[in-house]
Structures are given as structure tokens and as C-alpha cells.
Amino acid sequence: MTPTALDAALVTAALAAGVAAGCTFVFSNFVMPALGRLPAADAIRAMQAINEKAINPLFLMIFIGTGLAATALSAVHLVAGPPDARTPWLLAGTVVYVVGVVGVTIARNVPLNDALARVVDADRQTPSAWADYDRPWTRWNHLRTVAGVIASALFIVGATR
């Protein structure tokens, strides 16, 4: 079997989805638990600083760009010719990534980040502000991690068809 441009794109999508899943895994596995061991005011300030630094071109290119690229790749593949053995895997990986990673980020994690950013006096707003943030943000982050891993696996399977 000769590799094609689609195969290369699927491998690239798998790697990018894997990197995104790795980013979210790190937070679920040890960043959020470590922040949870700090006094709430310190955890709030640390997460606010992390959220500010996360908005950078490289991170956005991997995190959001993967969803955009996979969507474009799926559309081009569907328009370019008849479906083949890779098509269901490409489409499934795209849907899982766009909904489970990008969609959850936009609909759930970003609003929580925005609410946390509005906490200006962490020392006085601490207990409820951190409690309102930590558990729901981490639960949604677990979902993003699983979705990124599944999308990566789907793209890999598609590349091997």
C-alpha cells in the first residue's frame, strides 16, 4: 500500500489530537490535584496565570487548529471522491475531536475560566470561587482528555486502512 496525502494528513491529525489529549491529561492527572492542595486563594491565582498563558498561538494552533484542520480534511475527502475504508474513521475522529475537545472547551471550560478570571480579590472570594471552578472544570477536562485520545486512535486506525 502506497501512502497518500490523506494517510499523511490522518497521521498528522492523530499526532495533533494526541498532543491536545496530553495537554488535558496533564491537568487532570496532576496539575489540578496539585492546585487543590494549595490554599484556595493561591490555587485561584495560579490557575488565572495558567489560563492567561494558555492563550498563545502554538497552543491554539494545536488545540483549535486540529479541529479546524480535521473538519476541512473531512470535507475535502468527501467532496474529492467516493468514500473509502478510511472515511468512517476520519469522520468519526473529526466528530469526536470537534465535539469532545473543541466543543467542550468552548461550551464548558472557557466559561469557567472566564468566571475565575473575574475573581479579583482571591483572598476574600476564595472558598466558593475555587469550589465553583475546580470540580466542574476538572470533570469537563477529563472528558476532553478521553475525547482527544479516542480521536487520535480513530485517526490512526483510518491511516492504516
Report pLDDT digits (tens) over 5-51.
Answer: 888 999 999 999 999 999 999 999 999 999 999 999 999 999 999 99
Question: How many angstroms separate the first and last alpha carbons of the chain?
Answer: 9
Q: What percent of the chain has pLDDT over 70?
A: 96
Stretch (H or E) spanning 22: helix 5-26
pTM: 0.93
User: How far is it, in rounded angstroms, from Cα 157 to Cα 109?
Assistant: 29
User: How far is it, in rounded angstroms, from Cα 122 to Cα 60?
Assistant: 27
- Residue pair 59/148 in contact (Cβ under 8 Å)? The answer is no
Q: Which residues of the chain have pLDDT under 70?
A: 1-3, 122-123, 125
Q: In 27-121, where does DSSP find H-type helix?
A: 32-36, 40-54, 57-80, 87-97, 104, 110-117
Grouping H, G, I as helix, E, B as strand and the rest as coil, residue 4 is coil
